[in-house]
Structure 1
Amino acid sequence: MSSTVATATKAEVSVSRYRWVILVACWASFTLTSIDRSTWGPASVFVGESLHVTVEALGAFATAYYIGYVVTNFWSGFASDAIGGKVILTVSLLGAGASMLAFGSTTNAAVGIAVQAVVGFFAGADYAAGIRLIVSWFKPQEQGFAMGIFTAATSLGTATANFVVPALITASGWRTSYIMFGAISVVVAVALFFTLKPGPLVTEHKHAPKGRFKRDLAAMFTNPNLLFTCLAGFGAFWGLYGFVTWSNTLMIKGKHISPETAGLVVGIFAVAAVLAKPIIGWICDRFFGGARKVPSIILLALFAAILLVFGRLDGAAAFLWAAPFLGLAAYGWSPLLVSLVPRLVPNGVSGSASGVANGIWQLGSVIVPVVVGAAFGAAKSFDIAFLALAAGPIFGFIAMLFVRDRQRPAVAPAAAEKE
């Protein structure tokens, strides 16, 4: 009897330790696809000069990326639930890396826009796959912290791109960044294929009772709390990725800040978020019973307010001082909404719900580059551009007021089989 208990204890310890390997693997993939996305911000002006594209038209590249990203978010969530997160995650990173290599060789603007859409198509798949893997290894009461670490990847990707890419451009041109990060992505994708495996907390689709997956999907699509969370995220992403996409160019062209300083501002902005995400997630898990709604409302309101203030600033020193506060507010809501989505739906469709939610969230990323580009092009006003950015989190704040934050009880796999 004692031998059996000892064996079970060792198995539990093994599972407990391995979940951190899974989290780090998902984080590494998400970090690299975020670098792939964020490389465009500091490189955009130089890509435009190389491919003879006007500043106002540069938004088309970012919009093309996000169109591909949104499309794949919808299907990748269902695919992750149906065949598992491992295959989807590795294919995502491999395809994104190969597409980055292709963009680094682009000499034509139309081809470049098309390749950006392909980069986005592959990069967008790893989000839902990562969520699926994490919720299969981490209990609901631990997911705020886990999602904080996972989503910190987007901030780290932005920071890395803004610290590294300007230096690479100065040394050897914008193409080097795309080729280097593309190659790294391909290598890591191959390594992850031999590392990832599904966890014990979510029943795989192939083992679920007949008809269960369809019933869970029906419940997901009729969930009003999920709908309002999707709308809140749409507004938040509007402000976030509108800033990430346009801030370098707006500071360079609108305030005559040097490219290196603009990159430093956005880098500090992202570093603050790297620290804020896991800390905010842990605090909400540990001290506020896993609350998501009220902290998200506060952070979205703060995000909108700081964007409006940022639009009124002038001079490098002011932007550098404001950057960490904007980073905290701009990204702080992220682990809260990300961890809220899976607990609003049955656990068998956690990947599908996360993919659909992120797809709707990223529609804000699709639309905002063109809107901000048009606003700045028409008014030539830094203030107006940031007013357009702030409209997103204001909308998200309003939508979040209608969400009922109720945690779904954890269901053990064995229990799920009997339902």
Structure 2
Amino acid sequence: MNPWRMLIWLLIAQILIAFIGRGVSPLGVFIGESLQLTNAQIGMLPAALFFGQFVASIPFGVFVDRVGTRRLLLVLTLVLGISFSLVSFATPFWLVLVLMAIGGVGYGAYHPVSTRGILYWFDSLQRGTAMGIKQMGVTVGSALAAFLLVPLSEMFHWRPVLFVSSLVLIIGGLICYYYYRDAVVSMPKTKNVRISRQLLSMFSNRRLLLLTIGAMTLSASQMSLNTYLILYATNHLLVSIVFAGMLLVISEVGGSLGRVIWGMVSDRLFQGNRMIILCMIATISTLGFVTLATLSEGVNLVVLVLIIFVLGFCLAGYNGLWMNAATEIVPKEQAGLSSGFSTSIGAWGVILGPPLFGLIADVTGSYSASWVVMAVLMFFVAILFLLLNQSLRNESIDT
């Protein structure tokens, strides 16, 4: 079978899953207004989604190594689609959070499930590009959510819009399951090692842990930008909600390009070096957040668009590099567990990041302090990836 054809189905599933899961951010302003939420509570919406990711990623990372990608693809799209269709009927804030967390199981577990498919369909010199294309589905889905859900929710209310979108995901998941096939591979024979011992080996992998900490911080910054960009643009910069929604679209378009371009640059110009590219991404993001902290009403809209595009290109463009690096640091037969472990721990960035960002904005009455905190975090992450890159280079020289 043609691996690129299989990649298309993984990409379509990723777009649909992201369209629903990442739709939490553009819908946040409408859900917040409907349920009368504070900034910190709005930040808890994506936090709930990614708490589900935290719970699911490691178990599904282990499970996919044993049963393959195809069957789990169907299960995860059904879990996400059904839970978010129920969100469209929920009124109590706690129930919305619970249902979003359940949906997060489907959203988050797709990362190790699809990563396993990429790993076995493509060789190491194609994997960065293939992963970038697949991960582009996250930003394409998120961009479509911002482009469609904001105006549709303004016209028809967010509840029916979310319900219909969930049905589209369920139907699309069935179609992808029908056409996708797992790669026929000779799996290495391994001993029946207890999961706790396998997890201990992940925690003892210093480089995987440091990579995950850096990715966790990038995730916190990315989702904070997505969650509060519309609120920041309408309340602080005083632009229209339609233009603010387009800013989120622009950010995700930049991320879509970033996921492919950063992967290609890593494969072709840096011979698969992921860490130095991640260092570049964190450095550029630091400058972007500092700039956002200085903007005020009347900012040149072209300048604003460029800043948001670059931030999206970086913050929404790093994910494929992260997933590749997480699988390449460990033996191939542990790829699913490694990506699941890193995704699970990395999810804490999104669980804690947006609520913290919103709390700082609530306390200070301004978004500037929140952007400054993000900039400081990105600065330290850039140093972390630089040190990791040097460590890997030293090991390569020694061997």
TM-score by length of 1: 0.87
- Residue by residue, what CA displacement relative to the aligned partner does 1:70-127 show, whole Å, maximum 9, x if unpaired? 1111221111112222222221111101111111112222221221111112211111
What is the deviation of 1:213? 8.6
What is the deviation of 1:378? 0.5
Which segment is superposed worse, 309-318 or 255-264?
A: 309-318
Q: Partner of 1:105: helix, strand, or coil?
A: coil
C-alpha separation between the residues in 1 aligned to 2:70 and 2:392? 30
| From 191, 199, 210, the counterpart of 2:191 | 210
Aligned letter for 1:380?
G
Identity %: 22
1:61 equivalent to 2:42? Answer no
1:333 equivalent to 2:310? Answer no
Equivalent position of 2:14 in the other structure: 30
| From 374, 377, 380, the counterpart of 1:395 | 380
Aligned letter for 2:268?
R
Equivalent position of 1:170 in the other structure: 154
Q: Partner of 1:136: helix, strand, or coil?
A: helix
1:247 equivalent to 2:229? Answer yes
| From 231, 239, 249, the counterpart of 2:213 | 231
- Indicate if the aligned counterparts of 1:235 and 1:394 stay in contact, CA closer than 8 A: no
What is the deviation of 1:344? 0.8
* Higher-Rg member (1/2): 1
Equivalent position of 2:67 in the other structure: 83
Which segment is superposed worse, 358-367 or 214-223?
A: 214-223
Are residues 202 and 48 of structure 1, via their aligned partners in 2, closer, same or farther at CA, if it must alter by over 3 Å? farther
Which segment is superposed worse, 389-398 or 90-99?
A: 389-398
Runs (5+) with no aligned partner, structure 1: 1-14, 410-419
Please give the residue correspondences for 1:70-219 in structure 2 after superposition, counting only pairs within 5 Å. Answer: 70-200=54-184, 203=187, 208-211=189-192, 219=201
Aligned letter for 1:236?
L
Which segment is superposed worse, 233-242 or 330-339?
A: 330-339
C-alpha separation between the residues in 2 aligned to 1:32 and 1:392? 31
C-alpha separation between the residues in 2 aligned to 1:131 and 1:238? 21
1:342 equivalent to 2:327? Answer yes
Equivalent position of 1:43 in the other structure: 27
Equivalent position of 2:363 in the other structure: 378
Equivalent position of 1:258 in the other structure: 240
Are residues 176 and 382 of structure 1, via their aligned partners in 2, closer, same or farther at CA, if it must alter by over 3 Å? same
- Residue by residue, what CA displacement relative to the aligned partner does 1:288-329 show, whole Å, maximum 9, x if unpaired? 211112121111111121111122223371422322111112
- Residue by residue, what CA displacement relative to the aligned partner does 1:16-47 show, whole Å, maximum 9, x if unpaired? x2x11221122222222211122222222221
Which segment is superposed worse, 322-331 or 121-130?
A: 322-331
- Residue by residue, what CA displacement relative to the aligned partner does 1:172-195 show, whole Å, maximum 9, x if unpaired? 111133112201110111122222
What is the deviation of 1:211? 4.3
- Indicate if the aligned counterparts of 2:88 and 2:162 stay in contact, CA closer than 8 A: yes
Please give the residue correspondences for 1:257-296 in structure 2 after superposition, counting only pairs within 5 Å. Answer: 257-296=239-278
Q: Partner of 2:295: helix, strand, or coil?
A: coil
Aligned letter for 2:148?
V
Q: Partner of 1:276: helix, strand, or coil?
A: helix
C-alpha separation between the residues in 2 aligned to 1:361 and 1:201? 29
- Indicate if the aligned counterparts of 2:215 and 2:346 stay in contact, CA closer than 8 A: yes
C-alpha separation between the residues in 1 aligned to 2:305 and 2:242? 12
C-alpha separation between the residues in 2 aligned to 1:331 and 1:33? 16
Aligned letter for 1:37?
G
- Indicate if the aligned counterparts of 2:80 and 2:107 stay in contact, CA closer than 8 A: yes
Are residues 149 and 87 of structure 1, via their aligned partners in 2, closer, same or farther at CA, if it must alter by over 3 Å? same
What is the deviation of 1:212? 7.3
- Indicate if the aligned counterparts of 1:39 and 1:165 stay in contact, CA closer than 8 A: yes
Are residues 392 and 32 of structure 1, via their aligned partners in 2, closer, same or farther at CA, if it must alter by over 3 Å? farther
What is the deviation of 1:356? 0.7
Aligned letter for 2:260?
P
| From 306, 320, 330, the counterpart of 2:288 | 306
